């Protein structure tokens, strides 16, 4: 499709700055110039904290973004883009905030050493060390020790893919998800997307050549999968341990083809790998989610992918805290935990240790919430004329405080077929009546063990009874309209 108008606006705004191409200036000048380019702010999150973590040569600065809510949260370790030469925690701030908010992950953004002062593998080593630190300190971050996700854009996507490879190979940490945003995956400037998009779309072919020269100490390093992930052998022994991947590419990006090639390469190796090309977009669009509509779509897609890490976190948490009821309760919503604490305070024996009569007495007398007011409540008894033992069936009818006609919901209370009645179901029936704006008929069916299956089922209102009730309810609706209710 044509270049998106919002992408063209970004290109025009960048050109208006009058900055020289990065490959024509020193790394220091390139970094100063990069700070003048458009940056997109991110949303507020619950907490942002700067720290330094142990690295292979010196401490590595990180910025930690914590989402709203209660953990444990998945943890995403994020590596910024910038061709390994430019970029820092501030340039990554907007994207990190968006990812934190959209995915519900704690985001640990890594300020790795830059090239050419630090050549491969030194920036990678910083990223790997920060990832291990995040895993080891996950509990203090609000996560679960032993499992993280990784992600990055451009050169950061390259680093994320490389970290996932080494983690699979060594088993040092389990990386469950890798989010690769237009990643650099190979030192190949002859792809179709380089030919089509190598000039005029903010990221230039000559610029990428300059970035690679700055990153590699030896051109031979371009064959190392930790520098060029697309060179990962198809028979990689630890392929089964590679993290599931989601790859984002842009139509007008010279890196488009190599990113999509890596996504296919992972698929061919048996790794769960998916991706999406965002038509009309340029390199760098992902970090502009506050300015570009398609960037917001991509950010939402990334957030949905990373939310899948919750399953891995919960599984790891269960494995680590098996048999610890108190620890397991930390996975619950705070209000659910509060309900359990109230029940604990009542010191009620397990139902299986009580007689049926005791169970029912406890159920009838334990605290219950109050439901909302409804238009009308009527208790009735209808006749069950079917089954082996016909008899009376008490019901309670809840009618909305609105004008009908209404739908009808038949509600059958819980309680293991042994306990419960229309009183214990009262609050739920009221909530359903108001929330669904429908008539709720709560049924007080006969209970076990006095009445075995199929008594409870055969004691339900017959269609003839429901027809009479519908006519009665329709009459209530007419009365309300006449009285102006």
pLDDT tens string for the chain (485 positions)?
899 999 999 999 999 999 999 999 999 999 999 998 888 899 999 999 999 999 999 999 999 999 998 888 999 999 999 999 999 999 999 999 999 999 999 999 999 999 999 999 999 999 999 999 999 999 999 998 889 999 999 999 999 999 999 999 999 999 999 999 999 999 999 999 999 999 999 999 999 999 999 999 999 999 999 999 999 999 999 999 999 999 999 999 999 999 999 999 999 999 999 999 999 999 999 999 989 999 999 999 999 999 998 888 777 776 776 776 665 666 655 666 666 666 667 667 776 778 888 888 888 777 788 999 999 999 999 887 766 667 789 999 999 999 989 999 999 999 889 999 999 999 999 999 999 999 999 999 999 998 887 766 655 555 555 555 556 555 555 555 444 44
Q: What is residue 482's predicted lDDT score, i.e. its pLDDT?
A: 46
The one-character DSSP state at 42 is -
Q: What is residue 440's predicted lDDT score, i.e. its pLDDT?
A: 97
What is the Cα–Cα distance from 418 to 12, expressed in whole angstroms? 72
Q: What is residue 361's predicted lDDT score, i.e. its pLDDT?
A: 85
* Domains within the chain, CATH numbers bracketed: 5-318 (3.40.50.1820), 325-365 (no CATH), 376-483 (3.40.50.1820)
Burial letters for 294-329: b for 16+ Cβ neighbours within 10 Å, e otherwise? bbeebbebbbebbebbbebbeebbeeeeeeeeeeee
Catalytic residues: 154, 253, 283
Q: What is residue 257's predicted lDDT score, i.e. its pLDDT?
A: 98
Q: How far is CA 252 from the centre of its chain?
A: 28
Burial letters for 9-29: b for 16+ Cβ neighbours within 10 Å, e otherwise? ebbeebeeeebeebbeeebee
Q: What is residue 477's predicted lDDT score, i.e. its pLDDT?
A: 53
Q: DSSP 3-state assignment of 227?
A: coil
Six-digit token pair at 118?
Answer: 């630090």
């Amino acid at each position: 499709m044509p270049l998106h108008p919002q992408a063209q606006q970004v290109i025009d705004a960048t050109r208006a700055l009058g900055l020289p191409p990065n490959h024509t200036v020193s790394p220091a000048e390139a970094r100063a110039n990069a700070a003048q380019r458009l940056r997109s702010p991110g949303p507020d999150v619950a907490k942002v904290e700067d720290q330094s973590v142990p690295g292979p040569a010196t401490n590595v600065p990180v910025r930690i973004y914590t989402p709203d809510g209660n953990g444990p949260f998945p943890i995403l370790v994020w590596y910024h883009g910038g061709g390994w030469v430019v970029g820092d925690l501030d340039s990554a701030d907007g994207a990190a905030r968006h990812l934190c908010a959209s995915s519900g992950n704690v985001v640990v953004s890594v300020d790795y050493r830059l090239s050419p002062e630090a050549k491969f593998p030194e920036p990678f080593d910083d990223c790997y060390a920060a990832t291990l630190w995040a895993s080891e300190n996950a509990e203090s971050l609000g996560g679960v020790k032993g499992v993280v996700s990784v992600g990055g854009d451009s050169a950061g996507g390259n680093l994320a893919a490389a970290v996932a490879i080494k983690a699979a190979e060594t088993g040092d940490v389990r990386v469950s998800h890798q989010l690769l945003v237009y990643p650099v995956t190979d030192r190949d400037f002859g792809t179709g997307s380089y030919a089509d998009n190598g000039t005029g779309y903010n990221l230039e072919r000559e610029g990428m050549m300059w970035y690679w020269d700055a990153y590699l100490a030896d051109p031979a390093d371009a064959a190392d999968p930790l520098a060029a992930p697309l060179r990962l052998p198809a028979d990689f022994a630890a392929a089964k341990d590679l993290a599931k991947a989601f790859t984002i590419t842009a139509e007008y990006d010279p890196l488009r083809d190599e990113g999509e090639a890596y996504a296919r390469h992972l698929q061919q190796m048996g790794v769960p790998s998916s991706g999406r090309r965002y038509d009309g977009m340029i390199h760098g669009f992902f970090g502009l989610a506050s300015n570009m509509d398609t960037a917001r779509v991509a950010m939402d897609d990334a957030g949905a992918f990373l939310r899948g890490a919750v399953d891995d976190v919960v599984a790891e948490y269960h494995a680590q805290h098996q048999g610890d009821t108190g620890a397991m309760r930390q996975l619950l919503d705070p209000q659910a935990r509060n309900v359990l604490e109230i029940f604990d305070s009542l010191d009620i024996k397990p139902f299986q240790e009580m007689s049926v009569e005791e169970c029912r007495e406890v159920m009838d007398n334990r605290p219950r919430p109050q439901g909302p007011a409804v238009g009308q409540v009527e208790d009735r008894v209808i006749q069950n004329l079917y089954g082996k033992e016909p008899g009376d069936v008490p019901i309670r009818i809840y009618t909305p405080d609105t004008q009908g006609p209404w739908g009808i919901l038949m509600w059958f209370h819980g309680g293991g077929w042994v306990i419960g009645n229309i009183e214990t179901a009262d609050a739920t029936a009221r909530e359903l009546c108001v929330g669904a704006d429908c008539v709720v008929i709560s049924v007080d069916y006969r209970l076990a063990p006095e009445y075995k299956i199929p008594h409870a089922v055969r004691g339900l209102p017959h269609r003839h009874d429901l027809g009479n009730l519908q006519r009665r309810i329709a009459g209530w609706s007419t009365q309300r309209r006449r009285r102006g209710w």
